[in-house]
Structure 1
Amino acid sequence: MERREFLKISALGSVSLGACGGEGLGNAYGASGVKEADVVQKYAQLIPANKGLDSAWVRSLTTRGEKQTYTDRKALEHIGMPVGGLFAGTVYLGGDGRLWLWNILNDDREGIEPRPISYKGTALRARDGTNYVTPAPRAYPFEQNFGLRVKDQLRTLDADGFKQIVFSGQYPIGEVTYEDASCPFRVKLSAYSPFIPLNTEDSSLPVTVMSYT
């Protein structure tokens, strides 16, 4: 079943249940069930196209934010920018350009790291924000890296291979630059997943692009 058709049917079922006054799904889809036209009309009544929202607030939802830049080593350790396709699991771009988290194995994990913690006398779960209170440690279940070879010297493109690293994030593209006084080259990484407005199929490809220049 196509994703779009699934979402359409799911939404139809939710609205139909409400339109039937809680009579249950059996009656809603029985021989005398609710017609789709009635559901559409009911939906338009409950959620009108013109919601009277503040126009300035609506514009703020689509205004692109300012690029954020980080150079501090400690700050770089806590960066995790999503660069996996929509509905294709979660892969993070770290502050030094390495990929981490790799929540792509359908292990039904809650949050980045499902670990309970205690905060000000209250037990917190992942859904309560544990990974904001105490940032999750970076996990690298796969051996993955890129490198730059200059003559007989090989440098890994990460915090181990370069002393100066700058991370700039402006979703959906994360940029990492690598510099070192002992290296004659400056390397720039642009990492992203295909993210095309109004194109769900191509935006949900399980692909991460790592472009080095």
Structure 2
Amino acid sequence: MEDLLINVDKEKRTNIINSAMKEFSKNTFEKASTNVIVENAGISKGLLFHYFGTKANLYRYLEYFSIKIITEEIVEKLDWNQRDIFLRIKEISMIKFKIMQKYPYLADFSLRVFQGKTVEEIMHINPNFPLELYSQIYNYNIDYSLFKDAIDVKKAIDIIRWTIEKYGDEFRISIKNGSVEFDYKVIEKEIYVYIDMLKACFYKEY
């Protein structure tokens, strides 16, 4: 599956992936148009089918790619020595933002495709999914002693994650609507506002 676009130059590959994700995220598989995909990607229909053979193969490639790009980027770039859960979650969010900047329809496509799927179903799509390592991104080497004694740490971490992820969702929508521009300094600054508020609630010392 990974080899389907291996010989295509990076810019063209990105254009194909983004165009196809956009179309499949807006429509069901049956209604998604390969004509729209090739028009937005700037390639011929013949070339699209030369790469993938069928519309179904294109869709399966996008499923595989969606899992691969998120998991590999996080697993490879995450600072596993960072023990502060707030900074760990911030770092994961920033990695995701950088991926979303390159692939703006990845989140919408992934939501449509993977919502409600079990781990076993995801593993079937991508047998190389690093489940054991990826499942530890929010807990490996984290210093839980920083939390106040009366705090339910698991619930606190859920609240931190949900807050930052919700901010990310709203920012992504604003980007798509054209109301804001992609600025990492602004994103990081605003995330730190939430971090400061939540640290004051959950940490012993701040």
| TM-score bracket, shorter-length normalisation | under 0.3
TM-score between both structures, scaled by the size of structure 2: 0.26
Q: Which protein has the larger Cα radius of gyration, Structure 1 or Structure 2? A: 1
| Higher relative helix content | 2
TM-score between both structures, scaled by the size of structure 1: 0.25
| Higher relative strand content | 1
Q: Which has the higher contact order (CA 8 A, sep 6+)?
A: 2
